[in-house]
Amino acid sequence: MTAERSVLPGRFSGLSIKLIATIMAVILLVEIVVYLPSLANYRASWLDDRLRVGVVAARVLDAVPDVMALPRELTDRLLTSAGAYAIVYRRQGQSQLIELADPFSPDVVVTADMRQRDLPSLIMGALDTLFAGPGRTLRIVGEGDIGSSQVELLMSERPLRQEMLAYSRQIGIVSLAIAAITAVALYLLASYLFIYPVRRLTQNILAFRQAPENASLVIVPSARRDEIGIVERELAAMESDLFSMLRQRRHLADLGLAVAKINHDLRNTLTSAQLLSDQVATLDDPKVQRLAPRLVTTLDKAIGFAQSVLDYGRETAALPVLAPVALRPLIDDAAFEARLVGHPHVVFSNGVDAALILTVDSNQLGRVFLNLLKNAREALEASNVAAPQVSVTTAESADSITISVSDNGPGLPPRARDNLFVAFEGSARAGGTGLGLAIAREITEAHGGKLVFVDQPQGTRFDLVLPLSLRVPN
Ligand SMILES: Nc1ncnc2c1ncn2[C@@H]1O[C@H](COP(=O)(O)OP(=O)(O)OP(=O)(O)O)[C@@H](O)[C@H]1O
Ligand SMILES: [Mg+2]
């Protein structure tokens, strides 16, 4: 519960701005891909238009035997209508030229050969024109209309470039407008469909986490049937579960506190009684001598019970503190504490590989084994099986490691079986509190594992199944 609290991002810093930016970027990218061929086509048809005038002029030139004899006025008009400085007509190795009266001197001449019409060269030509500086002269080459004739026009590149720039500007404006309109439309749609509901969920989760005892913060799910609708309904269910669990927990905690107080006083009273009984035991009276030991053990039991209840109450919800621990010595220690080591009758065997190392909370896991081994010893002591023994073994599967604690005692009594792992309920033993197995299971589950009772014809076996990921590879 220590995780930092998150803050909801502003209207345009979260999902929405990413969405708008992505949509606009994609549309503009698509526009560029479409723009290049269309610009190339625009230039090609512009050049074709000029060439057509050139071809008409060529037809005139073809018809007259001597170009020089043509009136100057006519040739000038032909040239200006094509916007050209000069027109050259070539046919069967001969060429004829008309040019403007004012002489011109081209510095840089670029050739636009309109007989080459593949898309890459058209695009390259268009880019060349667009990025060239002003002042170049364009030489447009194309086929004439008769046989293998050829027409050439010489003209300034400027008008073409200016028209192409204007065309590009237009496309740019239209593209931006399309991108903006689409982005806004998609944004509105996405806002309505996703962003708004996700923000509502996020806001609700943030608010609920701050005050989970406030039932009015439980989200009211909408009637949507899609994934978001499912999330809303599940969240509502989770929040109401959490709300009632918290309330229940608070009540239990209050009750527990009261029990702990009563229990604490009880234990103190019992301890005073124990002191008294110890003194009574020193009296010489034979009757007292006979009864005193029973009084002492009864009081011992009562104090033990009060103590373990107090311990359980103090059992905090502490997270396991994980560190690599050798399992074999851990179990040896637990067996020693459970008074199994050096026991006069019960034989204890620890079959755990000395090299086995697990990443666990050694105190908590030691407690699990202590409880299991103590139960086994108590069961064996209370029964009269021949050659009583307790053993611990391990087995590994693809994803888990199982540690089994088994004995050859009388097996679980029915009362214990019915309330297995239930605190205060599971005890079927005089003087038992019924906490051992409950605590053992809690600890195992906090480690991501499970504690299972394995039914078998003779004796008792508990399996501790831990995820294999806890094993430290050697
Ligand atoms: N190895 C076993 N063989 C036979 N019975 C067992 C064995 N382990 C547990 N039991 C039975 O299960 C009951 C519950 O065990 P658990 O450890 O939870 O409580 P407890 O031993 O009675 O009390 P506590 O451990 O809190 O002092 C025991 O009372 C006992 O009857
Ligand atoms: Mg026990």
Q: What is the pLDDT of residues 121-163, one digit of tens each?
A: 999 999 999 888 778 889 999 988 777 888 899 998 989 999 9
453/372 Cα distance (integer angstroms) = 11
Any idea which of 101-105, 325-329, 375-379, 382-386 has the lowest mean pLDDT?
101-105
Q: Does ligand 1 come within 6 angstroms of the Cβ of 440? A: no
| Averaged pLDDT for residues 315-325 | 79
Residue 141 host element (H or E): strand 136-143
Q: Does ligand 1 come within 6 angstroms of the Cβ of 375? A: yes
pLDDT of residue 424: 79
Token pair of 404 as six digits:
């089994």
Mean residue pLDDT across the chain:
86
Token pair of 212 as six digits:
């989970």
**Residue 110 CB contacts under 8 Å (≥ 6 apart), including other chains:** 128, 129, 132, 136, 137, 138, 139, 157
- The protein residue with its alpha carbon nearest to ligand 1, atom 26, reads 435
Distance 438 CA to ligand 2 centre (A): 9
CB 432 within 8 A of CB 411: no
Residue type for 223, please? A
Residue 201 has pLDDT above 80, yes or no: yes
Domain boundaries, given as residue ranges, for the chain: 15-180, 227-313, 323-470
Residue 4 has pLDDT above 80, yes or no: no
Distance 379 CA to ligand 1 centre (A): 8
Q: Buried (b) or exposed (e) across 268-303, using 16+ Cβ within 10 A?
A: eebeebbeebeebeeeeeeeeeeebeebeeebeebb
Residue 312 host element (H or E): helix 286-314
Report how far apart, in Å, the C-alpha atoms of 236 and of each of 72, 199, 248, 307 are: 92, 15, 18, 41
Helix (H, G, I), strand (E, B) or coil at 347: strand
304/306 Cα distance (integer angstroms) = 5
Q: What is the pLDDT of residues 171-182, one digit of tens each?
A: 989 888 888 898
| Averaged pLDDT for residues 186-208 | 87
153/163 Cα distance (integer angstroms) = 18
Percent of the chain with pLDDT over 70: 94
Q: What is the pLDDT of residues 230-266, one digit of tens each?
A: 999 999 999 999 999 988 888 888 887 788 788 778 8
pLDDT of residue 316: 54
Residue 107 has pLDDT above 80, yes or no: no
Residue 314 host element (H or E): helix 286-314
Helix (H, G, I), strand (E, B) or coil at 450: strand
Signed CA dihedral, 267, 268, 273, 278: sign only: positive
Residue 320 has pLDDT above 60, yes or no: yes
| Averaged pLDDT for residues 432-461 | 90
Q: How many CB atoms lie within 10 A of CB 397?
A: 9
pLDDT of residue 204: 93
296/172 Cα distance (integer angstroms) = 99
153/84 Cα distance (integer angstroms) = 6
Determine whether domain 227-313 maps to CATH 1.10.287. Answer: yes
Distance 265 CA to ligand 1 centre (A): 27
Residue 398 has pLDDT above 90, yes or no: yes
Q: Among residues 429, 332, 331, which one has the least CA distance to residue 379?
A: 429
Nearest-atom number in ligand 1 for the CA of 380 is 3
pLDDT of residue 314: 65
417/427 Cα distance (integer angstroms) = 10
Token pair of 377 as six digits:
């010893």
Any idea which of 2-6, 195-199, 258-262 has the lowest mean pLDDT?
2-6
pLDDT of residue 24: 84
For residue 97, the cross-strand partners are: 88
Residue 430 has pLDDT above 80, yes or no: no
Q: What is the pLDDT of residues 456-472, one digit of tens each?
A: 889 999 999 999 999 99
Token pair of 309 as six digits:
């209840």
Q: Does ligand 1 come within 6 angstroms of the Cβ of 432? A: yes
Q: Where are the beta strands (DSSP E) in 226-346?
A: 323-326
pLDDT of residue 32: 87
Query: Which residue carries 């034989």 as its tokens?
Result: 347
Report how far apart, in Å, the C-alpha atoms of 189 and of each of 73, 110, 215 are: 66, 51, 32
Helix (H, G, I), strand (E, B) or coil at 425: coil
Residue 104 has pLDDT above 80, yes or no: no
CB 67 within 8 A of CB 98: yes
| Averaged pLDDT for residues 37-46 | 94
User: Which pLDDT band, with edges at 50, 70 and 90, does 101 fall under?
Assistant: low
Q: Does ligand 1 come within 6 angstroms of the Cβ of 380? A: no
| Higher local confidence (pLDDT), 389 or 433 | 389
Taken as a whole, the chain contains a residue count of 474
Residue type for 442, please? E
Nearest-atom number in ligand 1 for the CA of 439 is 18
CB 171 within 8 A of CB 31: yes
Nearest-atom number in ligand 1 for the CA of 438 is 18
Distance 428 CA to ligand 1 centre (A): 7
Q: What angle do CA 140, 144, 147 make, to 5 degrees?
A: 145
Give, for ligand 1, the residue of 429, 439, 444, 460 to mutate: max count of ligand atoms closer than 8 Å to Cβ: 429
Token pair of 210 as six digits:
């701050």
Rounded to the nearest 10 degrees, how much is the dihedral formed by the CA atoms of 11, 12, 15, 18?
170
Percent of the chain with pLDDT over 90: 38
Distance 434 CA to ligand 1 centre (A): 6
Residue 70 has pLDDT above 80, yes or no: no
**Residue 89 CB contacts under 8 Å (≥ 6 apart), including other chains:** 57, 58, 61, 62, 95, 96, 97, 144, 149, 150, 151, 152
- Does the pTM exceed 0.75? no
Output phi, psi for 471, to 5 deg. Answer: -80, 135
Determine whether domain 323-470 maps to CATH 3.30.565.10. Answer: yes
For residue 139, the cross-strand partners are: 111, 154
pLDDT of residue 27: 86
